[in-house]
């Protein structure tokens, strides 16, 4: 008799998710669905509001990456009012943004995704958390991680007022100057962050890469998908989180497109499926061909794995070394292994840390001109950043008073949604055989999406409901036989 | 407070409903205090950092607003098992920013997001937790203020009633000697918003968006009159007041609608 497995709520991710696994009469997986069961409707309730409220409203989409929404929204306002912020303001924004990236990537590796690797995917679930990680790596190391994140957050608070839902960005600039004292603190923290990033990469190499059983999991077919990859790049085609052009490479690693954020609607369209609240974006000119990978399917991926694939290198020296090592170890570009996201994330962490040091050392950052007042009549604005979880688009249209008439948000996890759905389906099919599944196997299925660090608060930026992860198992008649709550 | 029998420590649980989960993450950010807190309480449920579960709670912290039929079932179940229930953050206290959608026809909201596929995704208005079950205490703010949360938690562990501020953000802003935001020509909700945040936004060059909800005795008409004096239309003033407070304003405050 067939069965259906549902994993709901999914743990250790931001936002809520549900996995439904349908088994056939042999007990093998017929289809696994990864669902996001809630809708909030931010795009709708933005309508009729002053555009300048948007950096405040949209940061509330997500408590994990409020800074990403805040900055993307602020950049959309720059574009809306056709105002180019002064260099000091841009640098302050990018500095805060880099600090946020270090903090967020560290959160994911040590608190959310890391426990699967540091403790092993089959460890009992009571220890598979940050406390377990602390035990395994030692309390001293744990304290280091904790102290690091705390310092980073204090500095974001210093400039942004709050670390969650910061209030730094204004159209045309930022709201607060940087004093030399704060600048010096950034220089110090930046250096510590570089050390911390190198330490994290070493931990990854020692615990994960030196263990062939982990490497086998990472490179196994269950966690592999050949899709297009998207990421923001600077003028040298290096990874950039704050600004630049969007580059897309095909599954062979060749450049498929490079375009300005303002052109995204020519490149990307969205597809709706009846079983989830997430909309699935795809490359418009290739088309939606269902949940399939390969060059003929318009499905693309974002986030660390994709960003490294979509770029030609990293803009800072140490990160570049690791960039080369990463592709050498994993068999050249592009890397299609979903779980390699964890390693790529740490390389990005190093880049962001080095970028903090660069920006904080720039004398211009303490300049007095932090804002140019907008004086043009607003009409339409688009802002893009690389959120920790991938490319994030904010697009607003307004009337001549700057009151929003239409808003469209294409969010990082949404850009990844189709690939995540495929990953969960494939992992389930590969791991559940003849009706056999246990906690370890179910956790390995969860690992398939946790690697993306998905954020469903963002992906639905939309509302009703709650949604941690539940796994439900259904038989071939659609009757629920098991439910496992996480 | 009565304590669970196992080790004498109160059992504390955290639950999230519709929200951005920022309040929950704010708690993970108390690293210095976290170990002290763990000495005093047993955290028995916290999805974002743990995989495990428990049956009953001395204190249940609820984050997020109620916005689906399943939310309602779940909150009843939690209330039944919780001795003390605390609404954590503005989504739980008032519906928060989620409640902005309540001011619009639900069908329109669904249609904007999902177009013709709107009927596939049922939705109900975003409500505060107190609309469904009894809430014993509140921690306001978006995100909730960490010092205030610690104060409530400590008070409850000690078995006393936490004190909650009920005066305007302007008071805290004045104490910081900030230049008045309205005088600078920007919009500001400081005069009617409940203090407790230490006037973070005005102190950082921004304006108050009212994320802690109105003080309990606001001068409703006075607030609109004041904003009009600074050049904001009644319509704009109301719209912006509703950013975090749609439910309160729709419920008790009918001014500007005559």
pLDDT score of B120: 57
Most confident residue range from A15-24, A169-178, B20-29: A169-178
CATH no., domain B11-158 = 3.40.50.700
Please tell me the distance in Å from A279's CA to the nearest CA on chain B.
8
Q: Nearest by CB to B124, from A15, A126, A464: name it.
A: A464
For range A293-312, the mean pLDDT: 96
pLDDT score of B242: 86
Q: What is the pLDDT of residues B180-193, one digit of tens each?
A: 999 988 899 999 99
Please tell me the distance in Å from A410's CA to the nearest CA on chain B.
11
Q: Inspect the interface and report whether the beta carbons of B22 and A486 lie closer than 8 Å.
A: no
Q: Give me the residue label for tokens 């669970």.
A: B4
Taking alpha carbons only, the member of A132, A123, A15, A17 closest to residue A448 is A17
Lowest average pLDDT, out of A114-118, A368-372, A384-388, A478-482, goes to A478-482
Please tell me the distance in Å from A64's CA to the nearest CA on chain B.
6
Q: Give me the residue label for tokens 């969860």.
A: A446
Query: Model confidence at A5, in pLDDT bands (50, 70, 90)?
Result: low
Bridge partners (DSSP) of residue A484 are A7, A471
User: What percent of chain A is predicted at pLDDT more than 90?
Assistant: 53
For range A93-107, the mean pLDDT: 93
Residues of B in contact with A161 (CB under 8 A): 200-201, 203-204, 206
Residues of A in contact with B200 (CB under 8 A): 161-162, 167
Angle at alpha carbon of residue A164, lines to A351 and A202, rounded to 5° = 30
pLDDT score of A110: 80
Query: Model confidence at A471, in pLDDT bands (50, 70, 90)?
Result: low
Q: What is the pLDDT of residues A234-269, one digit of tens each?
A: 999 999 999 999 999 999 999 999 999 999 999 999
Separation of alpha carbons A371 and A87, rounded Å: 9
A13 has a pLDDT exceeding 70: no
Mean pLDDT, chain A, as a whole number? 85
**Residue B135 is encoded by which pair of tokens?**
């809430």
Chain B contacts in chain A segment 95-134 (CB below 8 A)? 107, 111-112, 125-126, 128-130
For range B49-66, the mean pLDDT: 76
Q: Inspect the interface and report whether the beta carbons of B74 and A168 lie closer than 8 Å.
A: no
Q: Nearest by CB to A64, from B21, B53, B142: name it.
A: B21
Query: Model confidence at B213, in pLDDT bands (50, 70, 90)?
Result: very high
- Measure Cα distances from A110 to A68, A323, B39, B80 in Å: 20, 21, 22, 35
Q: Inspect the interface and report whether the beta carbons of B31 and A465 lie closer than 8 Å.
A: no
Query: Model confidence at B255, in pLDDT bands (50, 70, 90)?
Result: very low
Whether the CA torsion A137, A338, A250, A241 is positive or negative: it is negative
Separation of alpha carbons B172 and A108, rounded Å: 35
Separation of alpha carbons A154 and A152, rounded Å: 5
A4 has a pLDDT exceeding 60: no
According to the 3-state scheme, what is the secondary structure of B50-118? CCCCCCCEEEEEEECEECCHHHHHHHHHHHHHEEEEEEECHHHHHCHHHHHHHHCCHHHHHHHHHHHHH
Kindly state the DSSP code that residue A262 receives in the 8-state scheme: G
Most confident residue range from A297-301, B33-37, B102-106, B252-256: A297-301
For range B31-43, the mean pLDDT: 77
Mutate to test the interface with A, among B141, B205, B232 (most CBs of A within 10 A): B205
Identify the closest residue of chain B to A46 by CA–CA distance: B100
Residues of B in contact with A129 (CB under 8 A): 49-51
A115 has a pLDDT exceeding 60: yes
Burial A284-293 (b: 16+ CB within 10 A, else e): eebebeebeb
pLDDT score of A188: 92
pLDDT score of B123: 65
Residue A125 backbone dihedrals phi, psi, to 5 degrees = -70, -20
Q: Inspect the interface and report whether the beta carbons of A162 and B143 lie closer than 8 Å.
A: yes
Separation of alpha carbons A75 and B257, rounded Å: 35
- Dmax over CA atoms of chain A, in Å, equals 72
Q: What is the pLDDT of residues B117-172, one digit of tens each?
A: 566 556 678 889 999 999 999 999 999 988 889 899 999 999 899 988 899 999 99
Mean pLDDT, chain B, as a whole number? 82
Q: Nearest by CB to B104, from A45, A164, A465: name it.
A: A45
Please tell me the distance in Å from B83's CA to the nearest CA on chain A.
22
Counted across chains A and B, CB pairs separated by less than 8 A come out at 189
CB-based contacts of A38: which residues, under 8 Å, 6+ apart? Answer: A16, A277, A456, A460, A462, A463, A464, A465, A466, A467, B18, B67, B68
Identify the closest residue of chain B to A165 by CA–CA distance: B143
Residues of A in contact with B115 (CB under 8 A): 272
pLDDT score of A10: 45
Q: Inspect the interface and report whether the beta carbons of B114 and A465 lie closer than 8 Å.
A: no
Residues of B in contact with A413 (CB under 8 A): none
User: What percent of chain B is predicted at pLDDT more than 90?
Assistant: 39
pLDDT score of A38: 47
B15 has a pLDDT exceeding 60: yes
Angle at alpha carbon of residue A278, lines to B28 and A107, rounded to 5° = 20
Q: Inspect the interface and report whether the beta carbons of A45 and B113 lie closer than 8 Å.
A: no
DSSP A100-116: HHHHHHHHIIIIIIHHH
Q: Inspect the interface and report whether the beta carbons of B142 and A60 lie closer than 8 Å.
A: yes
Please tell me the distance in Å from A190's CA to the nearest CA on chain B.
20
Please tell me the distance in Å from A460's CA to the nearest CA on chain B.
9
Taking alpha carbons only, the member of A484, A469, A424 closest to residue A17 is A469
> Which residue segments constitute the domains of chain A, with CATH numbers given?
1-37+428-486 (no CATH), 84-224+337-373 (1.10.645.10), 225-336 (no CATH)
Separation of alpha carbons A446 and B196, rounded Å: 40
pLDDT score of B258: 34
Q: What is the pLDDT of residues A348-373, one digit of tens each?
A: 999 999 999 999 999 999 999 999 99
- Of A35 and A132, the structure prediction assigns the larger pLDDT to A132
Mutate to test the interface with B, among A41, A129, A406 (most CBs of B within 10 A): A41
- Kindly list the domain boundaries of chain B, sorted by start residue: 11-158, 169-252
Residues of A in contact with B49 (CB under 8 A): 12, 111, 129-130
Q: Nearest by CB to A164, from B113, B115, B143: name it.
A: B143
Is residue A380 within 8 Å of residue A406, measured between CB atoms?
no
Q: Inspect the interface and report whether the beta carbons of B20 and A170 lie closer than 8 Å.
A: no
DSSP H helical ranges for A167-303: 180-204, 212-218, 264-267
Residues of B in contact with A74 (CB under 8 A): none
Q: What is the pLDDT of residues A426-441, one digit of tens each?
A: 888 888 888 787 777 8
| Pairing mode of beta strands A18-23, A469-474 | parallel
B52 has a pLDDT exceeding 70: no
- Dmax over CA atoms of chain B, in Å, equals 61
Mutate to test the interface with B, among A154, A155, A164 (most CBs of B within 10 A): A164
The end-to-end CA distance of chain A, in Å, is 25
pLDDT score of A41: 66
For range A447-473, the mean pLDDT: 56
Chain B contacts in chain A segment 383-422 (CB below 8 A)? none
Identify the closest residue of chain A to B102 by CA–CA distance: A45
Query: Model confidence at A147, in pLDDT bands (50, 70, 90)?
Result: confident
């Amino acid at each position: 008799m067939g069965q259906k497995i549902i994993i709901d709520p999914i743990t250790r991710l931001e936002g809520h998710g549900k996995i439904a696994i349908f088994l056939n009469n042999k007990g093998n997986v017929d289809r696994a669905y990864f669902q996001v069961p809630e809708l909030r409707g931010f795009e709708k309730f933005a309508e009729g509001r002053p555009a300048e409220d948007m950096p405040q409203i949209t940061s509330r989409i997500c408590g994990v990456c409020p800074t990403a929404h805040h900055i993307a929204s602020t950049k959309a306002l720059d574009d809306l009012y056709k105002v180019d912020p002064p260099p000091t303001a841009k640098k302050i924004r990018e500095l805060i943004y880099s600090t946020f990236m270090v903090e967020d990537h560290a959160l994911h590796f040590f608190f959310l995704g890391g426990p699967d690797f540091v403790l092993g995917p089959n460890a009992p679930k009571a220890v598979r958390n940050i406390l377990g990680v602390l035990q395994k790596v030692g309390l001293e190391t744990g304290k280091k991680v904790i102290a690091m994140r705390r310092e980073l957050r204090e500095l974001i608070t210093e400039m942004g007022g709050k670390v969650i839902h910061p209030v730094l960005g204004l159209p045309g600039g930022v709201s607060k100057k940087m004093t030399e004292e704060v600048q010096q603190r950034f220089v110090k923290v930046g250096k510590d962050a570089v050390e911390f990033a190198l330490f994290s990469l070493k931990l990854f190499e020692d615990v994960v890469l030196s263990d062939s059983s982990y490497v086998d999991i990472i490179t196994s077919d269950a966690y592999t998908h050949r899709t297009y990859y998207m990421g923001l790049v600077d003028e040298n085609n290096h990874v950039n989180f704050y600004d630049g052009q969007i580059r897309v490479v095909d599954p062979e690693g060749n450049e498929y497109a490079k375009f300005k954020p303002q052109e995204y609607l020519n490149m990307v369209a969205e597809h709706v499926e009846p079983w989830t609240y997430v909309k699935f974006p795809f490359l418009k000119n290739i088309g939606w061909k269902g949940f399939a990978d390969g060059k003929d399917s318009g499905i693309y991926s974002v986030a660390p794995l994709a960003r490294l694939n979509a770029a030609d290198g990293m803009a800072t020296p140490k990160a570049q070394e690791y960039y080369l090592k990463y592709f050498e170890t994993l068999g050249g570009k592009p890397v299609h292994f979903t779980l390699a996201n964890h390693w790529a994330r740490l390389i990005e962490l190093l880049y962001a840390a080095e970028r903090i040091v660069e920006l904080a050392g720039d004398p211009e950052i303490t300049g007095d001109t932090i804002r140019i007042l907008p004086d043009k009549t607003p009409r339409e604005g688009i802002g893009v950043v690389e959120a920790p979880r991938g490319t994030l688009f904010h697009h607003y249209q307004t009337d001549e008073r700057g009151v929003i008439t239409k808003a469209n948000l294409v969010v990082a996890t949404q850009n990844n949604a189709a690939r995540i759905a495929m990953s969960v389906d494939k992992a389930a099919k590969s791991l559940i055989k003849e009706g056999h599944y246990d906690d370890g196997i179910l956790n390995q299925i969860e690992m398939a999406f946790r690697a993306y660090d998905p954020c469903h608060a963002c992906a639905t930026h939309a509302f009703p409901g709650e949604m941690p992860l539940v796994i439900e198992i259904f038989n071939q008649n659609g009757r629920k036989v098991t439910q496992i709550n996480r | 407070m009565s304590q669970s029998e196992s080790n004498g420590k109160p059992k504390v649980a955290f639950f999230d409903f519709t929200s951005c989960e920022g309040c929950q993450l704010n708690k993970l950010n108390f690293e210095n205090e976290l170990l002290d807190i763990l000495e005093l309480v047993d955290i028995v449920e916290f999805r974002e950092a743990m995989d495990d579960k428990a049956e009953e709670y001395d204190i249940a912290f609820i984050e997020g607003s109620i916005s689906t039929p399943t939310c309602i079932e779940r909150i009843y179940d939690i209330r039944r098992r919780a001795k003390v229930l605390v609404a954590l953050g503005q989504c739980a206290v008032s519906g928060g920013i989620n409640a902005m959608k309540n001011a619009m026809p639900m069908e329109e909201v669904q249609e904007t997001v999902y177009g013709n596929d709107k009927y596939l995704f049922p939705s109900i208005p975003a409500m505060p937790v107190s609309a469904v079950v009894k809430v014993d205490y509140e921690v306001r703010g978006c995100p909730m203020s960490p010092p205030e949360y610690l104060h409530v938690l400590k008070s409850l562990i000690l078995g006393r009633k936490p004190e909650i501020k009920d005066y305007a953000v302007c008071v805290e802003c004045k104490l910081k000697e900030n230049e008045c935001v309205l005088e600078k020509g920007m919009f500001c909700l400081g005069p009617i918003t409940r203090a407790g945040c230490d006037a973070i936004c005005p102190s950082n060059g921004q304006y108050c968006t009212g994320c802690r909800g109105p003080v309990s005795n606001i001068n409703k008409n006075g607030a609109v009159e004041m904003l009009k004096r600074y050049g904001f239309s009644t319509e704009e003033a109301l719209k912006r007041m509703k950013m975090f407070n749609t439910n309160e304003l729709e419920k008790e405050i009918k001014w500007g609608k005559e």
